[in-house]
């Protein structure tokens, strides 16, 4: 574990309630036990074990074909695992068909029934369970009010906009009060503006109803905005699980560091390791990197220092201490984005380092220009050290 | 779930649901399966059997392959029918002729159908749907009547001859019906909609900006057509050609009504063996030969086609 | 775009549609000719329509054809719909290859072979089990059902393959069992395809000469068989009248159905355009 003790140490009663994953006594609500799914010779999901707790908004994050959707469909019952077990609320789901599972799914395409109106769509699931007509009517009305679609109850799906369809799909899958709501790219079909607004709405609704949400997404920003915890998936395996904060600040691998946000990865060799600090010598960076905590490994081992662009300082003059954590180079590219500027600095080794700086004051002209010789430096705590 | 519910307390509906979940799949597969097996596959086995029998003046007019004698069953296979097909070159000629006539007609249909499909695909919205309807309409009217229409036109006492005699261009009526040319006209006429529709659907789906891109990059219009439109419409060309070629190879009505006595086609030969000569075993042997040399290659070709399409998508 | 090309396309369309429609129009015009010869116009008359309707053989044949058409289209729908469903939704099962072969084969099978093989089946069955006793409307209906079911299966299969499976999955996720999903979700969604499949089957059955000729018995002459035997001898004004009636009926049906489609599309686009505003 590369997460420092200090982060985990904040555990107390309150944290146990809001962060059940840090409570060793908490019982997981959903449990994947060594789940594998093969399609022919292809391992879509490869020996995944994962615990998800009640009331979580859990995100499965990864690129296309990483197995996240297969994992979700196994939870819904559309696919049976090749091996391994899935438990929901302590019940083994093996052989339970989708129509008997305590889960409901919101499909990426929304999958609204085209020949039924909004009200009939939302009522469909309740009527399958034999809920009485009058009760169904009440529940549907309540749910449509929650997603602010009461006005459109008599409309057919093709008469709705994308955002409205998304709300109907949400209402339809929530109205049965499932133990787990599954969301497959819930905002994927919406445009950017609407997506940002809907992200918060979804979180609010989740807090209101208290249902456990499991969501699949390829959009790291969406996952970080909405999720209590995220599992980063790649090629059928889970790379890392943690809160957005943990994943961004303490990635366990170059893959996670790259997938969430932007990062400079500088390769080097461990030359000094102590209880309180470590030093990595990097030929690529042309410098020595001083880290303010111990690194698990022996001298001579290869490590990568992950440096977030916003944690780097850009100066024309060399910093005071040029022994550690600073490199010099030339500005090669400048991107002015309004709120921030990005600079690509070419080092002597040929390596390019990306630095972002906030434009916190209005300037007459840019601080740096092409071919300016500059120094890039960072604090001892800024780099995370990765061994894979 | 309460598993201790006794079976008896289940309602009829619950029992039906349980039964459907357990056996529904088999039922849904089973019903069409059994029907097609009984009325499509078994008949071919019978045709195969009879093709090995000998013609007899009996009811039905063929010999039995199985003879029940005291020790058991003897089977007499008579390969004579197949040898006869090989020895009389009437059958080989009819077979090759069918393929030739169908192929030529398909090419003519393509040459007439392609510009029409292209024209329809490039027409404005409302005009397009009217033109498309005009293509589909003859398809729903009787096939026989459409062939019949040409009898009145091509006949010795038909409209063309009457017109030409009236103008004085000819003094003796031309022989147009009962020729191979009339068969071409009949096939092209009846199967033209089958060519236009798949061509139209590929041409209509094609992105116009692809042609614009070709023009923008300096291609002349006819070259853009040859280099962009035509290659991209090949799936439609192939589909349309198959839809015309396949039914015309086995065609009976058109050569019978428009062709002459010398216009041999394999479907007509089979018909005559059966109805005129009442030789059921030879007709069966012709059917088996058609199956092996015509239907099996076509199905194999289509199988490869769909495999390829699946791989591409 | 170049004017030369659009002139070419225009003339191709004019020539093509003339080729398609002039023969039909000539048949229709000459059905009103008083004389018996097609070549000479002797005056307007509807006497051939009168003689058509008093031709009992023709009326009986038409009645037979309609009955066979309705029965076999309905049966073909009942058999072809599950077959199409199996092909697109049931995944792999034992004997699937044979099944898909039996659905694809009737579409490419020359009619003479289908007709011959079914006749031989009926003859053999009659010898062995005594059924069907003689041939007639029922044997023609069975024959037509078989090849029409294959067409229905293909229509249904292609409609289902183009349909997002997530809609059916959503119904299952909301607690509906497979049989219910089919009747409440799938069936309403493929209804237009089913209607098209029924109409296609009906038309194919009504149009079939070859297969019916093989499996028909005495007293079960269909309309195409009747038309064929009279056309063989040359042009007959009664057939012109019949052709005119068929063409008018079909045109009216197509016109009505396309108007209906157009209207529902217009409603749909109006609804969505008010939404955008």
* Residue A291 vs residue C4, higher pLDDT: A291
Among candidate residues B46, B75, B104, the one where a domain is terminated: B75
From the list B193, B190, B183, the residue with the least C-alpha distance to B100 is B183
Domains recognised in chain C with CATH numbers: 35-265 (1.10.3720.10)
* Residue A95 vs residue B188, higher pLDDT: B188
Domain membership flag for residue B190: yes
H/E element, B25: helix B12-36
Q: Are residues B113 and B205 in the same domain?
A: yes
Domain membership flag for residue B294: no
User: What is the per-residue pLDDT for B3?
Assistant: 43
User: What is the per-residue pLDDT for C272?
Assistant: 53
Domain membership flag for residue A167: no
Backbone angles phi, psi at B271, to 5 degrees: -55, -45
Cβ(A62)–Cβ(A232) below 8 Å: yes
Q: Are residues B67 and B207 in the same domain?
A: no
Q: Are residues A252 and A274 in the same domain?
A: no
Residue by residue, DSSP assigns A52-65 as E-TT-EEEEE--TT
Strands A287-291 and A278-282: antiparallel
Q: Report chain A's mean pLDDT, rounded to a whole number.
A: 85
Q: What's the CA gap between A245 and A229, in Å, rounded?
A: 9
Q: Which of C164, C175, C276 sits opposite A111 (nearest CB)?
A: C164
CB contact under 8 A, C111 and B267: yes
H/E element, A376: strand A373-377
Q: Are residues B130 and B182 in the same domain?
A: yes
The fraction of chain C above a pLDDT of 90, given in percent, is 45
Q: Are residues A349 and A267 in the same domain?
A: yes
Domain membership flag for residue B159: yes
- Whether the pLDDT of residue C248 is over 70: the answer is yes
What's the domain range around A276? Answer: 263-386
Q: What's the CA gap between C6 and A220, in Å, rounded?
A: 52
On whether any CB of chain C is under 8 Å from the CB of B197, the answer is: no
Residue of chain B minimizing CA distance to C100:
B33
**Binning pLDDT at 50, 70 and 90, where does residue C41 land?**
confident
Q: What's the CA gap between C184 and A131, in Å, rounded?
A: 17
Q: Are residues B135 and B271 in the same domain?
A: yes
Q: What's the CA gap between C195 and C198, in Å, rounded?
A: 5
Domain membership flag for residue B284: no
User: Which of C174, C186, C193, C274 has the highest number of chain A CBs within 10 A, making it the mutation to test binding with A?
Assistant: C174
CATH assignment at residue B157 = 1.10.3720.10
CB contact under 8 A, C177 and A112: no
Residue by residue, DSSP assigns C133-148 as -S-SHHHHHHHHHHHH
Domain membership flag for residue B65: yes
Q: Are residues B152 and B116 in the same domain?
A: yes
* Residue A365 vs residue A261, higher pLDDT: A261
- Whether the pLDDT of residue C165 is over 70: the answer is yes
Contacts of B169 (CB under 8 A, 6+ apart): none
CB contact under 8 A, C169 and A98: yes
Q: Are residues B39 and B114 in the same domain?
A: no
On whether any CB of chain C is under 8 Å from the CB of B189, the answer is: yes
- Whether the pLDDT of residue C130 is over 80: the answer is no
Backbone angles phi, psi at A280, to 5 degrees: -120, 130
Cβ(A75)–Cβ(A214) below 8 Å: yes
Least confident of C65-74, C147-156, C233-242: C233-242
From the list A209, A134, A207, the residue with the least C-alpha distance to A173 is A209
Average pLDDT over residues A12-16: 57
Q: Are residues A347 and A316 in the same domain?
A: yes
**Binning pLDDT at 50, 70 and 90, where does residue C156 land?**
very high
Domain membership flag for residue B229: yes
Residues in A touching C177 (Cβ below 8 Å): 99
User: What is the per-residue pLDDT for C148?
Assistant: 94
User: What is the per-residue pLDDT for C275?
Assistant: 45
Q: Are residues A97 and A11 in the same domain?
A: yes
What's the domain range around B22? Answer: 11-75
Contacts of C267 (CB under 8 A, 6+ apart): none
Q: Which of B143, B146, B299 sits opposite C105 (nearest CB)?
A: B299
Domain count, chain B: 2
Q: Are residues B93 and B193 in the same domain?
A: yes
- Whether the pLDDT of residue C75 is over 90: the answer is yes
Q: Are residues A93 and A228 in the same domain?
A: yes
**Helices B12-36, C96-108: crossing angle, 10 deg rounding:** 50
- Whether the pLDDT of residue A10 is over 60: the answer is no
Domain membership flag for residue A236: yes
Among candidate residues A257, A281, A314, the one where a domain is terminated: A257
Report the gap between the CA of B272 and the closest CA in chain C (Å): 11
Give bridge partners of residue A48 from the DSSP assignment. Answer: A35
From the list A20, A74, A41, A37, the residue with the least C-alpha distance to A243 is A20
Q: Are residues B125 and B52 in the same domain?
A: no
User: What is the per-residue pLDDT for C227?
Assistant: 92
Q: Are residues B274 and B152 in the same domain?
A: yes
On whether any CB of chain C is under 8 Å from the CB of B34, the answer is: no
Domain membership flag for residue A271: yes
Among candidate residues B53, B75, B97, the one where a domain is terminated: B75
- Whether the pLDDT of residue A60 is over 90: the answer is yes
**Helices B143-154, C3-30: crossing angle, 10 deg rounding:** 90
Q: Are residues A58 and A77 in the same domain?
A: yes
Least confident of A321-325, B255-259, C65-69, C255-259: A321-325
User: What is the per-residue pLDDT for B105?
Assistant: 96
Q: Are residues A95 and A229 in the same domain?
A: yes
Domain membership flag for residue A129: no
What residue ranges of chain B have pLDDT lower than 70? 1-9, 56-61, 63-77, 313
Q: Are residues A90 and A231 in the same domain?
A: yes
Q: Are residues A88 and A232 in the same domain?
A: yes
Q: Are residues B107 and B226 in the same domain?
A: yes
Least confident of A296-300, A370-374, A383-387, C53-57: A296-300
Domain count, chain A: 2
Q: Are residues B60 and B148 in the same domain?
A: no
Report the gap between the CA of C136 and the closest CA in chain B (Å): 16
State pLDDT tens for residues A165-211: 988 998 999 898 889 999 998 888 788 888 888 888 888 888 888 88
Domain membership flag for residue A107: no
Distance of CA A62 to the CA centre of its chain: 8
- Whether the pLDDT of residue A257 is over 50: the answer is yes
State pLDDT tens for residues B6-48: 455 677 777 777 777 778 888 889 999 999 999 999 999 999 8
Residue of chain B minimizing CA distance to C246:
B141
CATH assignment at residue A200 = 3.40.50.300
Domain membership flag for residue A119: no
Strands A57-61 and A212-217: parallel
Q: Are residues B48 and B158 in the same domain?
A: no
User: What is the per-residue pLDDT for C81?
Assistant: 94
Structure-token match 């980063």, residue found = A232
CB contact under 8 A, A76 and C173: yes
- Whether the pLDDT of residue A11 is over 60: the answer is no
* Residue C41 vs residue C149, higher pLDDT: C149
For B59, which DSSP code? Answer: S
* Cβ neighbours of C119 (radius 10 Å): 25
CATH assignment at residue A319 = 2.40.50.140
State pLDDT tens for residues B165-214: 888 888 888 888 888 999 999 999 999 999 999 999 999 888 888 888 88
Q: Are residues A193 and A280 in the same domain?
A: no
Q: What's the CA gap between A273 and C42, in Å, rounded?
A: 115
């Amino acid at each position: 574990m590369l997460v420092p003790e200090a982060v985990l140490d904040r555990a107390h009663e309150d944290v146990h309630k809001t962060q059940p994953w840090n409570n060793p006594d908490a019982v997981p609500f959903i449990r994947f036990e060594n789940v594998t799914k093969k399609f022919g010779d292809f391992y879509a999901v490869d020996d995944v074990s994962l615990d998800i707790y009640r009331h979580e908004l859990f995100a499965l994050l990864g690129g296309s074909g990483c197995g996240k959707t297969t994992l979700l469909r196994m939870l819904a019952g559309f696919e049976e695992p090749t091996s391994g077990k899935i438990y929901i609320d302590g019940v083994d789901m093996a052989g339970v068909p989708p129509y008997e599972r305590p889960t409901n799914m919101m499909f990426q395409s929304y999958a609204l029934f085209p020949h039924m109106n909004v009200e009939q769509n939302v009522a469909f699931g309740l009527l399958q369970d034999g809920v009485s007509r009058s009760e169904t009517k009440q529940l549907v009305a309540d749910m449509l009010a929650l997603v602010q679609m009461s006005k459109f109850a008599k409309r057919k799906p093709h008469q709705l906009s994308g955002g409205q369809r998304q709300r109907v799909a949400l209402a339809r899958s929530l109205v049965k009060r499932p133990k787990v709501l599954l969301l497959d790219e819930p905002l994927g079909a919406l445009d950017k503006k609407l997506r940002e607004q809907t992200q918060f709405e979804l979180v609010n609704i989740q807090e209101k109803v208290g249902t456990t949400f499991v969501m699949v997404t390829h959009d790291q920003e969406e996952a970080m905005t909405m999720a209590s915890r995220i599992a980063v998936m790649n090629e059928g395996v889970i790379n890392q699980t943690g809160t957005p904060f943990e994943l961004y600040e303490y990635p366990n691998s170059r893959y996670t560091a790259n997938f969430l946000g932007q990062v400079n990865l500088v390769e080097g060799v461990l030359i000094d390791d102590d209880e309180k600090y470590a030093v990595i010598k990097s030929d690529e960076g042309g410098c020595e990197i001083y880290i303010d905590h111990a690194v698990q490994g022996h001298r001579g081992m290869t490590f990568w220092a992950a440096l977030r662009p916003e944690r780097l300082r850009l100066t024309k003059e060399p910093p005071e201490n040029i022994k550690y954590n600073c490199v010099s180079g030339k500005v090669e590219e400048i991107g002015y984005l309004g709120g921030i500027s990005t600079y690509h600095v070419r080092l002597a080794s040929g390596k390019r380092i990306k630095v972002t700086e906030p434009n916190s004051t209005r300037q007459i002209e840019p601080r740096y220009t092409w071919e300016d010789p500059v120094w890039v430096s960072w604090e001892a705590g800024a780099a995370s050290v990765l061994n894979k | 779930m309460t598993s201790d519910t006794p079976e008896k307390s289940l309602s009829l509906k619950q029992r039906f649901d349980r039964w459907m979940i357990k056996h529904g799949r088999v039922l849904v597969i089973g019903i069409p399966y059994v029907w097609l097996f009984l009325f499509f596959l078994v008949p071919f086995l019978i045709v195969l059997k009879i093709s090995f029998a000998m013609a007899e003046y009996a009811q039905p007019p063929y010999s039995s392959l199985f003879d029940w004698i005291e020790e058991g069953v003897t089977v007499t296979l008579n390969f004579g029918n197949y040898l006869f097909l090989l020895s009389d070159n009437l059958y080989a000629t009819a077979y090759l002729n069918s393929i030739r006539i169908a192929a030529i007609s398909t090419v003519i249909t393509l040459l007439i159908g392609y510009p029409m499909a292209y024209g329809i695909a490039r027409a404005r919205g409302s005009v397009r749907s009217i033109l498309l309807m005009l293509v589909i309409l003859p398809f729903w009217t009787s096939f026989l009547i459409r062939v019949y229409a040409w009898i009145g036109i091509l006949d010795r006492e038909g409209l063309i001859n009457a017109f030409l005699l009236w103008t004085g261009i000819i003094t003796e009526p031309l022989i147009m019906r009962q020729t191979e040319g009339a068969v071409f006209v009949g096939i092209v006429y009846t199967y033209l909609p089958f060519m236009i529709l798949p061509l139209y659907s590929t041409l209509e789906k094609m992105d116009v900006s692809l042609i614009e891109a070709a023009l923008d990059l300096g291609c002349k219009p006819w070259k853009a057509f040859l280099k962009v439109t035509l290659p991209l419409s090949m799936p439609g060309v192939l589909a349309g050609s198959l839809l015309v070629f396949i039914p015309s190879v086995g065609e009976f009505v058109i050569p019978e009504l428009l062709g002459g006595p010398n216009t041999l086609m394999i479907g007509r030969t089979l018909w005559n063996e059966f109805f005129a000569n009442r030789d059921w075993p030879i007709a069966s042997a012709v059917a088996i030969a058609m199956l092996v040399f015509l239907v099996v290659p076509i199905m194999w070709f289509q199988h490869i086609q769909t495999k390829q399409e699946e791989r591409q998508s | 775009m170049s004017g030369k090309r659009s002139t070419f396309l225009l003339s191709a369309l004019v020539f093509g549609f003339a080729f398609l429609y002039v023969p039909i129009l000539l048949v229709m015009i000459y059905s009103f000719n008083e004389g018996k010869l097609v070549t000479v116009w002797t005056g307007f008359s509807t006497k051939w329509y009168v003689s058509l309707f008093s031709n009992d053989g023709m009326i009986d044949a038409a009645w037979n054809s309609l009955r066979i058409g309705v029965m076999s289209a309905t049966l073909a729908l009942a058999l072809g719909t599950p077959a199409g469903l199996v092909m697109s939704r049931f995944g792999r099962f034992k004997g699937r290859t044979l099944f898909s072969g039996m659905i694809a084969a009737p579409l490419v099978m020359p009619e003479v072979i289908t007709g011959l093989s079914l006749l031989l089946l009926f003859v053999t069955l009659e010898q062995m089990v005594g059924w069907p006793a003689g041939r007639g409307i029922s044997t023609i209906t069975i024959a037509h059902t078989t090849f029409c079911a294959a067409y229905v299966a293909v229509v249904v299969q292609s409609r289902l393959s183009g349909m997002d499976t997530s809609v059916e999955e959503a119904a299952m996720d909301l607690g509906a069992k497979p049989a219910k999903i089919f009747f409440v979700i799938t069936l309403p969604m493929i209804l237009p395809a089913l209607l098209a499949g029924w109409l296609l089957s009906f038309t194919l059955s009504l149009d079939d000469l070859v297969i019916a000729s093989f499996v028909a018995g005495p007293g079960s002459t269909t309309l195409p068989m009747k038309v064929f035997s009279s056309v063989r001898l040359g042009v007959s004004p009664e057939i012109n009248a019949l052709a005119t009636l068929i063409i008018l009926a079909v045109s009216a049906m197509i016109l009505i159905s396309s108007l209906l489609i157009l209207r529902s599309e217009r409603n749909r686009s109006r609804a969505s355009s008010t939404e955008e505003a």
